[in-house]
Chains A and B, each alone.
Chain A
Amino acid sequence: MPSTNRSTPGVSAGIADRLPKWLVPNLSGLNMVALFIALLLIGLLLVPVAQVMIVAFQDPATGAATLQNFLDFFRTSLFRESFWNSFYVSAMSVVVATAIALPLAYITTRFHFAGSVLIQSLGFIPLIMPPFVGAVAMQLIFGRNGTVNLLLRDYLGFDIPFMEGLNGVILVQSIHYFPFILINLSASLRNIDRSMEEAAQNLGSHGMRLFRRIVFPLAMPGYIAGAALVFIKVFDDLGTPLLLNVNNMLAPQAYLRISSIGISDPMGYVISVILVVFSVLSLWASFLFMRGKDYATVQKGGGGMAKRNLKPAEKMLAYGVVIFILLLVLTPHIGLTLLSFGTIWSFAPLPDGYTLQNYVTMWEGSKSFIMNTLLYAGIAATADVILGTAIAYIVLRTNIFGRKGLDYLATAALAVPGVVLGIGYLRTFHSVDVPFVGEPLASWWVVIALALMIRRLPYALRACMAALQQVSLALEEAAESLGATKKRTIYKIVVPLMKGGLLAGFVTSFATAAVELSATIMLVSSNQDAPLAYGIYLFMQTPSGRGAGAALGVVAVLLVAAGTLASQVIIERDKKAKASADMH
């Protein structure tokens, strides 16, 4: 491993160079970066969360340190049941999300298929809807008296409980989070070296066997990264179960107990600790699974796997599958669009009438929400990709002490319920005044961007990790043996090869940050600083504001979708450029 180097990697040049040598005489640039990131994570994640979580270890009556609360947790049948429900829902969501993502990823990367770019982008859109908005729209379409069930009952005399209890949570979660698998799996499939596949074909493998033995295992890093994200996100997610009024799961139990008026029940905090610990364990399990397997391909394959043409019958089938899946996953958006143009929609398959008034109402009061969202999510996602690349490089390419800790710490942000982070920030930063601005840090708008950055860092990090895992060390060593410095190698070899993954990370972070609500709702200290999701939330709190809220939701989706499509186009163009370069 060429990791004992003393040179400075590209991403860290600025910070490391500016620090005086005498301050840290024996640390290399890379070590400095690691230290800086560690401090950042401790200050913005560990300390605020610890401020809240310490309650779990305190005797509520005396304030003394105790583990009694944890005993209570395991003695309470409701909590044991909640734990099992959360586990079941998370596992089932991974299964259903895989069933949705795998065909989309495989068909679009493996075959010449018209509209692959469009499908990849459309497939991503479910992620960019605030969970509460998604649940509202899903209820309108699939709910007990939603469009589908009203029609079924009228014409066929029965209905299907899509949205009842845990089933509803699994359905909504799978549709909401499958893009994590899709985006990571597609990136992996694209990066598979064609020569691997050709070698297998030369040796006589084809069809399902080729997929099962060669293609899928090679795409494993992306799949596992995506599946682990889905599992953990579903395990920790609050919004969906709450909106479907399912309480017997862990995250809602924690939230309900922390946020009730005047209640200071320690069990909410205990559950938060358990959520964090369990998520870290799941991640550790996914690392164990990946350990000792080398997935790097020597050559960044000539545009990924060989694409082939589909026979007419296959093409029909493929289109059928893709259209069915897209219809299913775009249901929330179809519902939202109808709602935004509808007048009154009550116990009917469709709205009573259509109007543009909702957009007028929305536009009058929402410009600042949109601007703020672009600003906050932009800052957060940019910072996330930079931090994510740095952490991925440190973890995978160096042996700096405690490097795994960085990864775990950054990823643990996934496990922190937004409301806990929000309360933690208020507690930690309220007494810290920002220089020159003269406000407490907790009510300065930048803190919202910081919270988003921490909350979305794990997404970018997973994408960066998967991207770097597929860059062969041999390429770097080749560059270095040809005389390139470490910095130049990272800048000219590693980062360009990771470009697709980095962009995926940026888009994931940006899109999900743009619709985040649970932490921001605690931190917004004036309506002028409020982001979009908060605006939608405000509209949706009134009977007359539903349409306008939906209109703002549509704007949010379009905005982020445009960004996603643009980055997809860049990835494709990049890939084509490389492919044609290979030809010469």
Chain B
Amino acid sequence: MNLKHLFFSSLAATALAGGTAVAEGSITVITSFPDSMTGPIEAAFEAAHPEYDLEVLNKKTSAGVKYIQEIASDNTADIFWASAPDAFEVLKSDGMLDQVQIASEGIPDMIGAYPLNDPDGYYFGFAGAGYGIMWNERYLKANDLEPAREWAELADPKYHGHVGMSAPSRSGTTHLTVETVLQGDGWDDGWAKWKWIAGNFSTVTERSFGVPDGVNTGSFGLGIVIDFFGFSSKASGFPVDFAYPTITALVPANVAVVKNAPNQQGAIAFVEFLLTPEGQSVLLDPAIMRLPVNPASYANAPEGFPNPFEDSTIGASVKFDVEKSGARYNLVNSMFDVMITYRLDDLRSAVNAIQKAEMKHADGDNAEAKALIAEARGLIEANPIDEATSLDPDFAAIFTKKRRTASDTVEGRQAEVEQEWDAMVVENYRRARELAEQAAAL
């Protein structure tokens, strides 16, 4: 009887819920942000605007983009709210976002070297975030390691098997990290750096949250993460810490009004609220810890909290080129997956073999070994395509397949190209390992 009662009350509750979901004043928000972030902001917003009811719907960024694309014919979403500017670029280019006028005060145009808002007014930055290295103190102590503070340090042999990262195709924020280094160091050096770091990977996680989670639990010692994961993990009591490397970009987390929003007015009110001083101050909640975009909000920040508007070293060294990133977005993801994610075992063992050979011949006296090692290093660093090709719109189109009109055709198929790359990469890694083992035997 009890269970039956439960069922019916649940039925009633759900029916009621269905009723209120479409009531006047409800704003449907599609977001990749966790509950611990949306909760306090929702509470603050509803306190400031009791006439609105915020209906938050949590989806992974990629699933959120897909969801908005799928429901576009009869849109029910008002707001898209996520970190990665790229996701907004995808939606913007598909015509899924609305160009709206937002009133705000005291918000600068740039955060670090990155423009805060979309120049065409389709989406708006409301918080800053930078990428960096997070580590687990206990893990490093147990393994007798020092924290790494620069990307290049992560390639050090002592970190072999201790580093974790997510794949750029899985997480928009990780994509930004990869692209930032490619732009900061240049295409070839950038990829080389990623492959040497990846040679030390313990794993490539499927979700971006998998990295802080792995560091928090101690599955691996160091992770490449977005800053707030580091700050909020630390604030929750985990024995972890975080540092910004020199080459990092501060990029805004964004919010946009979805095209044909059922409650456009409410959506605009929400975006405007996020940019008010009260909205901005919620970002300093210990469970959120994002960088406010209103410089005045830093007055209330806890001690040691980075302030990019005063500390000009954070995220200033790379001027992130959104157009370049957008032009090769899928291509970079695919390259990372082919060279690193799917061939991690091959890469790891090749890099390990080279590290061992170098350790043995650290003095550099053996010319033959030196040559073998140099050749092996060259094989690891070799890229299937150069930067010019990556920016060639015809080539990049293989990876987007977005036909503008029915008569457009694209030469080549992604699977074909990837198989070519894969064959090259697997052979190179195999050969590199062989050479390194020969060198080590000398």
Interface residues in chain A, defined as those with a beta carbon under 8 Å from any beta carbon in chain B: 60-63, 68-69, 72-73, 75-78, 136, 139-140, 143-145, 165, 242-243, 245, 247-248, 252, 256, 259-267, 343-348, 365, 368, 371-372, 374-375, 378, 423, 426-427, 430-431, 437-440, 442-445, 521-522, 524-529, 538-546
Contact = CB atoms under 8 A, between A and B. Distances in A.
24 contacts: A77-B419, A78-B422, A140-B217, A145-B139, A165-B345, A261-B172, A263-B330, A263-B399, A264-B401, A423-B66, A423-B70, A437-B18, A438-B22, A439-B18, A522-B63, A522-B66, A525-B76, A526-B21, A528-B55, A538-B35, A538-B58, A542-B34, A542-B232, A542-B287
By size class, the interface of chain B is 35 or more
Interface stretch (B2-10, B182-190, B309-317, B355-363): B2-10
B65 A375 contact: no
Given A243-B206, A262-B329, A543-B216, 20 more contacts: A62-B409, A75-B416, A77-B422, A78-B342, A143-B217, A245-B206, A248-B342, A256-B170, A262-B400, A346-B218, A346-B238, A347-B218, A371-B6, A426-B70, A427-B70, A430-B74, A522-B67, A527-B56, A528-B17, A542-B232
B163 to A, nearest CB: 13
The 8 closest A-B pairs by CB, nearest first: A347-B218, A72-B415, A371-B10, A528-B17, A543-B233, A544-B236, A61-B410, A542-B34
A431 B73 contact: yes
A437 B76 CA distance: 14
Contacts of A348: 138, 218
B2 to A, nearest CB: 12
Interface of B: 3, 6-7, 9-11, 13-14, 17-18, 20-22, 28, 34-37, 55-63, 65-67, 70-71, 73-74, 76, 84, 86-87, 90, 136, 138-139, 142, 169-170, 172, 175, 202-206, 209-210, 212-213, 216-220, 229, 232-233, 235-240, 287, 329-330, 333, 337, 341-342, 345, 399-403, 406, 408-411, 413-416, 418-419, 422-423, 426
A345 B415 CA distance: 43
B129 to A, nearest CB: 15
Contacts of A62: 403, 409
A544 B90 contact: no
B271 to A, nearest CB: 20
B329 A72 contact: no
Contacts of B240: 346
B76 A443 contact: yes
B409 A61 contact: yes
Given A61-B413, A526-B28, A529-B14, A374 B219 contact: no
Contacts of B62: 259-261
Contact of B218 (A145, A374, A378): A145
B262 to A, nearest CB: 11
Contact of B401 (A73, A252, A265): A265
A541 B204 contact: no
Given A61-B411, A265-B401, A444-B18, A541 B34 contact: yes
In terms of DSSP, what is the predominant structure of the interface of chain B? helix
A375 B35 contact: no
B219 to A, nearest CB: 6
A521 to B, nearest CB: 7
A375 B400 contact: no
Contacts of B63: 259, 521-522
B216 A261 contact: no
Given A61-B411, A263-B169, A527-B58, A539 B13 contact: no
A343 B237 CA distance: 9
B36 A545 contact: yes
Contacts of B205: 245
A372 B172 contact: no
A63 B403 contact: yes
A545 B175 CA distance: 25
Nearest to A71: B415
A346 to B, nearest CB: 5
Contact of A267 (B21, B65, B67, B414): B414
A527 B9 CA distance: 18
